[in-house]
Amino acid sequence: MARLTPQDSDPPVGFASGGVRLKTIDALRGAAALGVLLFHASDVRGVSDGESVSYAALESVLNWGRYGVWLFFVISGFCIHLNWAKRSQSGPAPPPAFGPFWLRRFRRLYPAYFAAIVCYVASLYAEGAEFTGRVIAGIGLHLVFMQNFAPWGIYTVNEVMWTLAIEEQLYLLYFAFLAIRIRFGPMAAIVAALAARVFWFGLAFLLHRFWNVDILVTQAALPQWFIWVLGAIGVEAWLGLVRLPAWTRQWRTAITILPIAALVSYLYLYVLDAGPLRHIAWFFTDILWGLGFFVLVNTSVTLEGRTGRVAAWLAGAGLFSYSLYLTHELVTAHAWNFLIARQPGIGGIPSLILLIALAAVSLAFARIFFHFFERPFLSTTAVERAPGAPRIQYGQ
């Protein structure tokens, strides 16, 4: 991104004329959530057992849905930075006030998050889980978004909630990003975020090598900051504050980088033995996914208002994607395991039918959960391009 420069000519494109949300962003959010859902649903008891060759091929494709998490990170940077970027179109804008920013974030995210934790803990209790001191401590870490600081506590409640801890910590890092961005420019912010990833990987290596202490790496915020910052730079480019190289706005770039990311991920997970080459693959895997999704977001927002029915359906799922992300394992893991333990005969359902059923029930449950625990706490932030321009409202 050496050509990252101020943009002062072409007007921004992609505004939703008269609309209230960016449907392209919602569609990508919905696709990311569905990818994670299908990945987990394809791996539950009864789905993976005795499947046909064709289903095995499908399952190998669905396994890549786990990387929807990195699309979420890019989208998060895009959306959180939107308000500051809009204000900066008319001149230098100060950072948002720390207190009000965090109050909005807390009100928007925590009620649904807390309700989901209560549901998961209740499910564990119903399943007869043993609530040891470590388990209780892990629940406590989840309640304050610090579960990714303890390897023993990260999966105590739910195996996907570590990403939500990262999100909260990235909101703290947002103020560091803004300080660097305002004083030194967007390229300096990108370099700083990449340096933070190098630092954390180096710290993890030194702690393991010399003191036999292991810390979480991929599940920590600093290593993922670079991906989040890419999303923030993406919204600046979309609004015309910076000019990105042409390749960052082309479909062919995305469909080139993402398969490379998948290949490197496959080599890291299944082929490479422990050693320097595997460590290098580990370091670059997230970066490649982030870059691919960054280009995908940049390209998609130029299509705002010109998307088809599939994108519209995905955008509908994107409206409650947070609830879907929070709750899908209540269905695909806890409720299904509870049912199959009491009715073993239903384990004979064909894998594909069971997968579709689990996904459908997860969507329905998430929609209900959204209605009661997320929708009442949605706030709407309106931003304007210029006097007389159409308004964009995006739920933060």
> Which pLDDT does position 70 carry in this prediction?
98
How long a stretch of residues is the chain? 396
> Which pLDDT does position 23 carry in this prediction?
93
Distance CA 60, CA 346 (A): 24
CA angle 41, 47, 51 (to 5 degrees): 135
pLDDT, tens digit, for every residue of 232-274? Answer: 999 999 999 999 999 999 999 999 999 999 999 999 999 999 9
Distance CA 59, CA 343 (A): 25
> Which pLDDT does position 244 carry in this prediction?
96
> Which pLDDT does position 15 carry in this prediction?
33
- Residue 128, exposed/middle/buried by CB under 10 A (0-12, 13-18, 19+)? exposed
Give the pairing type, strands 380-384 and 5-6.
Answer: unpaired
pLDDT, tens digit, for every residue of 136-168? Answer: 999 999 999 999 999 999 989 998 999 999 999
Count of C-beta atoms within a 10 Å radius of residue 384: 14
Are 233 and 4 within 8 A, CB to CB? yes
Are 75 and 28 within 8 A, CB to CB? yes
Are 174 and 80 within 8 A, CB to CB? yes
pLDDT in 10s for each residue of the chain, 396 residues: 434 544 433 333 333 333 358 999 999 999 999 999 999 998 886 665 555 667 778 888 999 999 999 999 999 999 999 999 999 999 889 999 999 999 999 999 999 999 999 999 999 999 999 999 999 999 999 999 999 999 999 989 998 999 999 999 999 999 999 999 999 999 999 999 999 999 999 999 999 999 999 999 999 999 999 999 999 999 999 999 999 999 999 999 999 999 999 999 999 999 999 999 999 999 999 999 999 999 999 999 999 988 899 999 999 999 999 999 999 999 998 998 888 877 776 766 778 888 999 999 999 999 999 999 999 998 654 333 333 333 333 333
Distance CA 226, CA 373 (A): 31
Residue 323, C-beta contacts closer than 8 angstroms, at least 6 positions apart: 112, 366, 367, 369, 370, 373, 374
Residue 26, C-beta contacts closer than 8 angstroms, at least 6 positions apart: 314, 315, 316, 318, 319, 321
Distance CA 234, CA 244 (A): 9
Residue 22, C-beta contacts closer than 8 angstroms, at least 6 positions apart: 14, 16, 301, 304, 392, 394
